[in-house]
């Protein structure tokens, strides 16, 4: 048992534990082993909730604040009983070391994950219904197609080309930057045409290289913004299948001229075919270097819309 003067005070331990979590609190009292264990448990918990998704509650932002406050109090309650069992004589027990390690374990780790592995995005419109609905939050894989100038937070790559590049497949839902927007706006669409393909819409049916894509009517579809839509299943040549919406017959985008996809570009459509700005119109072809990443999994809906049945986007 350590002498009383070697203990960390209860108030400093509580303060560090509240703002630095269990990881910071355990470092402060001088036990690196428990700090690492608490960090591993916290990381596993975050991965669990992000993978299985959060409850589809419209006021979850306030719930997250209350949960965070409760977690901070729990950290204090867990760390304080260990205060008199360890001497704070390790290098990592000093104030600056605790601050630096807590920063690296949270903000720096989050920055690296968001920049190189998975980045969260939200869906503001109905252009990708029914796969993605307004209020959906989803993760985008930053490494799925390699790293380009728009998939990294810093301009460390040249304007063209990708590092560890892999091309999208037909049917992938991708996030990209529109060339004419100077990289300011994120677009979410589905890739249907690859370099060298000729893509055309004829009476609402997608044709790739002159062959009509299989299109089956499933039934009706209703949502807040699209109360009377027709739900159809589309199957691409390689077998990828997904649902699309048809809002009206003979819409302005139901018929187009044959459009050839140039090298290094892709043809992308919204699943809500009559309510989407995509490669048929002003968005144009998507340059390979403008890809941000591949949408892979939903983890929340801010409007309270249930999303479990369409959680996997891959």
- Contacts of residue 312, defined as CB under 8 A and 6 or more positions apart, other chains included, come to 296, 297, 298
Q: 119-310: what fold? A: Umud Fragment, subunit A (2.10.109)
- DSSP for 183-232 reads T-SEEEEEEEE-TT-EEEEETTEEEETTEEPEEEEEEEE--SS-TTEEEE
Segment 297-314, tens digit of pLDDT = 999 998 889 999 999 997
According to the model, what pLDDT value does residue 91 have? Answer: 93
Catalytic status, residue 122 = no
Give the pair of three-digit tokens for residue 27. 């470092």
Query: Rounded to an integer, what distance in angstroms lies between the CA atom of residue 46 and that of residue 106?
Result: 12
* CA-to-CA separations, 243 to 128, 221, 240, 294, in angstroms, rounded: 10, 11, 11, 18
Measure the CA–CA gap between 152 and 155, rounded to whole angstroms.
7
Q: Please tell me the distance from the alpha carbon of residue 178 to that of residue 171, in angstroms, as a whole number.
A: 19
Strands 118-122 and 286-287: unpaired
Which pLDDT score, from 0 to 100, does residue 2 have? Answer: 44
pLDDT score, position 209: 97
Of the listed 189, 276, 279, 294, which one is catalytic?
A: 189
Q: Where in the chain is the domain with CATH 2.10.109.10?
A: 119-310
Model pLDDT for residues 143-182, shown as the tens digit of each residue: 999 998 888 776 555 556 688 889 999 999 999 998 777 6
Query: Could you tell me how far CA 110 lies from the centroid of its own chain?
Result: 13
pLDDT at 160: 62
Q: How far apart are CA 166 and CA 168, in angstroms?
A: 7
| 276 part of the active site | no
The catalytic position among 17, 38, 127, 276 is 127
Residue stretches of the chain with pLDDT short of 50: 1-4
E strand segments, the chain: 118-122, 136-141, 173-177, 186-193, 198-202, 205-208, 211-212, 214-221, 229-235, 241-246, 259-260, 265-269, 286-287, 291-301
Residue reference for tokens 């529109």: 178
Q: Six-digit token pair at 226?
A: 């699209």
Residue 194: what pLDDT? 97
Largest distance between two CA atoms of the chain: 84
Q: What is the pTM of this model?
A: 0.88
C-beta separation of 275 from 152 below 8 A: no
166, two tokens:
């892999």
Q: What is the pLDDT of residue 1?
A: 42
């Amino acid at each position: 048992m350590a002498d009383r003067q070697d203990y960390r005070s209860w108030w400093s331990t509580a303060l560090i534990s509240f703002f630095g979590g269990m990881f910071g609190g355990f470092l402060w009292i001088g036990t690196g082993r428990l700090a690492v264990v608490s960090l591993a448990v916290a990381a596993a918990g975050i991965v669990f909730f992000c993978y299985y998704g959060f409850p589809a509650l419209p006021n979850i932002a306030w719930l997250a604040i209350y949960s965070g406050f409760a977690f901070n109090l729990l950290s204090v309650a867990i760390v304080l009983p260990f205060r008199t069992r360890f001497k704070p004589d390790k290098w990592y027990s000093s104030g600056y070391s605790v601050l630096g390690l807590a920063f690296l374990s949270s903000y720096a780790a989050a920055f690296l994950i968001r920049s190189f592995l998975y980045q969260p995005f939200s869906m503001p419109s109905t252009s990708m219904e029914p796969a993605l609905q307004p209020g959906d939050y989803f993760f985008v894989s930053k490494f799925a197609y390699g790293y380009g100038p728009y998939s990294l937070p810093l301009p460390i790559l040249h304007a063209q080309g990708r590092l560890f590049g892999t091309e999208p497949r037909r049917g992938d839902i991708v996030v990209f930057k529109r060339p004419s927007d100077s990289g300011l706006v994120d677009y979410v669409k589905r890739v249907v045409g690859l370099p060298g393909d000729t893509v055309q819409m004829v009476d609402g049916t997608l044709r790739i290289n002159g062959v009509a894509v299989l299109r089956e009517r499933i039934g009706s579809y209703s949502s807040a913004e699209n109360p009377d839509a027709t739900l159809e299943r589309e199957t691409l040549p390689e077998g990828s299948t997904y649902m699309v919406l048809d809002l009206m017959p003979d819409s302005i985008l139901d018929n187009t001229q044959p459009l050839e996809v140039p090298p290094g570009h892709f043809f992308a459509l919204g699943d809500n075919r009559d309510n989407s700005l995509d490669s048929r119109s002003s968005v144009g072809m998507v340059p390979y270097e403008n890809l941000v990443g591949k949408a892979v999994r939903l983890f929340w809906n801010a409007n309270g819309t249930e999303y479990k049945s369409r959680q996997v986007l891959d």
